[in-house]
Structures are given as C-alpha cells and as structure tokens.
Amino acid sequence: MPPPDLMCWENGTCGQFASDPLGVMLTPFDSIFVGFSIVVFWGLLCGILWLRSHNPMLVGIIGTAMVASYMASDQVLQFGTSPQFAQAQTIGSILILISLAIAVYHIVQHRLDAPPN
C-alpha cells in the first residue's frame, strides 16, 4: 500500500521558516481552520488574559495592538485578509465600543455618587 500524501509540515520541508516563522507555524492550522487560525489563537490569548485580569480595557488594548501588528505585517499588506478575519475585526470593534461605553458609564456613575469636595 503506498503512503498517503504528506503535507510539508508533516515532512518538515516547509522551507520559509527563517523568513516567515508565523506563517509556517500556522500552516497546519490553516488547513483545519481555513484562514481563521489567527483569530482562534488570539481569542485564546485574550480569553486567558481576561481570566487573569478581569479588565476589559486591558484586553481591548492588547487585542487592538495584536490586530494592528498583524495588519502591518508584510503578508497582509501583500495578500490582504480573509473574510473571517474581517468579520472578527468587526466583532472586536463592537466589543471594544461596548467596553468603552461601560467604562464611561461607571466613571459617570461614580462621579454622581461621590460626595462633594
């Protein structure tokens, strides 16, 4: 029986590791998640950060910095993003706006309940 067709990551022959380590490491996951692997890993990272800090503004700032660094990468500038990533950006923007609204609400509410100076 002939061996199955192996992908480059199974053979260890993906040759661009020195020039594009993130792309090569995400290659096996892209075959499963189809352009959604960055979003899955960033979601896990932001979820862990949220569980450790319980601070929505910190998670929003870190998430925004991660998206900005990804959007400034050569891969995105050259080829563009996947539709899944654009959808994840929209959802992330909505969540940041909600967390900003909650923060402003708490600031105003605290100011109204504070005793006069």
> What phi and psi, each to the nearest 5 degrees, are found at residue 21?
-65, -40
Q: pLDDT tens-digit profile of 87-101?
A: 878 887 898 888 889
Boundaries of every domain in the chain:
1-33, 34-113
CB atoms within 10 A of CB 92: 19
Whole-prediction pTM value?
A: 0.56
Q: pLDDT tens-digit profile of 12-47?
A: 777 777 787 777 777 888 888 876 777 788 889 889
Rg of the chain on CA atoms, in Å = 20
DSSP code string of 17-75: TTT-HHHHHHHHHHHHHSS-HHHHHHHHHHHHHHHHH--HHHHHHHHHHHHHHHHTSHH
